[in-house]
Amino acid sequence: EIVMTQSPATLSVSPGGGATLSCRASQSVTTNLAWYQQKLGQAPRLLIYDASIRAPGIPPRFSGSGSGTEFTLTISTVESGDFAVYYCQQYSKWPPGITFGQGTRLEIK
Amino acid sequence: QVHLVQSGGEVKKPGASVKVSCETSGYTFTDYGISWVRQAPGQGLEWIGWINVYSGDTNFAQEFQDRVTLTTDTYTRTVYMELRSLGSDDTAVYFCARGEWELNYLDYWGQGTLVTVSS
């Protein structure tokens, strides 16, 4: 099974600051990696796919990078609407199919 | 515009089954598959399985393959997930989400359906 580990569990950032979220895979997933944002009581929203491609409508302050086992989601200038939980997801191998990280909570400092 | 609209919340007793629907619109139905993902209260996301809407082929996470069924109705553009032998640990919000392949990112999501299992 491919285990996805996100760090940190919680990240405290002031509005206007930058944020860097990490995701590590237990084995290589090449670039088959997506990032999602989930606000309380809502469904997840796709931000990034194929490790670095922004989904339609996602602002350029969100960027993804990495390949193999190490991935990063960067928010260049955090806005008030960005405080949420962020999940990474790999879609590289069968089995086990799709697996998610445990999430990083971005909170207001 | 792509929309996935799920059926309403359910309360079930342990050992029962639940069937959740996901009605789609705004795209060619048979061009994309549908995955199901669940989220227990306060927890992360867990993938359940995927159905190829065109062929009806399915793939499941190992822990669900013996008690989940995915079906489609092409005329109503609706996908169904049935989960059997419910236990209290099946209490969760269940999401449907569009994904072209069983191994793919999920670009549009339903609003979620809360399934509560309680005696």
Kindly calculate the radius of gyration of chain A based on its CA atoms and give it in whole angstroms.
13
Q: In degrees to the nearest 10, what's the CA dihedral of A42, B60, A70, A9?
A: 40
Check if A105 contacts B (Cβ < 8 Å).
no
Report the alpha-carbon distance of residue B22 to residue A90 in Å, rounded. 24
Residue A96's pLDDT is 83
Flag whether pLDDT at A71 surpasses 90: yes
Report B:63-102 residues touching A (Cβ under 8 A): 95, 97, 102
Query: For B30-68, how does the pLDDT look when each residue is reduced to its tens digit (9 = 90+)?
Result: 999 999 999 999 999 999 999 999 999 999 999 999 999
Flag whether pLDDT at A81 surpasses 90: yes
Per-chain mean pLDDT for chain B: 97
Residue B15 CB-density burial (10 A; 0-12 exposed, 13-18 middle, 19+ buried): exposed
Residue B101's pLDDT is 85
Residue A93's pLDDT is 87
Residue with token string 């927890």: B43
Query: For A14-45, how does the pLDDT look when each residue is reduced to its tens digit (9 = 90+)?
Result: 999 999 999 999 999 999 999 999 999 999 99
Report A:72-91 residues touching B (Cβ under 8 A): 87, 89, 91
What residues of chain B lie within 8 A of the CB of A34, using their CB? 105-106
Residue B97's pLDDT is 98
